[in-house]
Amino acid sequence: MFLEAHMNIGVRGSKLAIDYAKRVEAQCFKSFQTNLVKIKTDGDIFENKSIQDIGGKGVFVSAIEQQLVDKKIDVAVHSFKDLPAVMDDSLEISAVLKRNDPRDCYIGTLFPHAKVGTGSPRRVAQLKENFNVEFDVMPIRGNIDTRIKKLEEGQYDAIILAVAGLEALGLEHKIKKIFPFSKMLPCVGQGVIAVQTRKGSSHSDVAKLNNHWNTYYSVMAERAMLQEIDGDCHTAVGAISSLVGDCINLKAINYNTGKHYESTSKLLEYKLLGEEVGKNIK
**What are the catalytic residues?**
81-82, 122-123, 141, 147, 233
CA atoms within 13 A on the CB side of 160: 28
Q: State in Å, rounded, how far the first CA of the chain is from the last one.
A: 43
Count the helix, strand and coil residues of the chain and give each as a percent rounded to the nearest 5.
35, 25, 40
Q: Residue 100 carries which DSSP code?
A: -
DSSP H or E run through 139: none
- The answer to whether residues 234 and 261 touch, using CB atoms and an 8 Å cutoff, is no
Q: Are strands 193-198 and 75-79 parallel, antiparallel or unpaired?
A: antiparallel
Of 210, 165, 214, which is closest to residue 75 (Cα–Cα)?
Answer: 210
Cβ of 277: how many Cβ atoms within 10 Å?
A: 27
Cα distances (angstroms) measured from residue 240 to each of 79, 207, 257, 270? 16, 25, 18, 13
Q: How far is CA 2 from the centre of its chain?
A: 32
List residues bridging with 178 in a β-sheet. Answer: 105
Dihedral (C-alpha) 186, 189, 191, 195: value to the nearest 10 degrees?
-170
> Are 151 and 117 contacting, i.e. CB atoms less than 8 angstroms apart?
yes
| Closest to 9 (Cα-Cα) out of 68, 60, 70, 97 | 68
The alpha carbon of residue 107 and the mean position of all alpha carbons in its chain are separated, in whole angstroms, by: 19
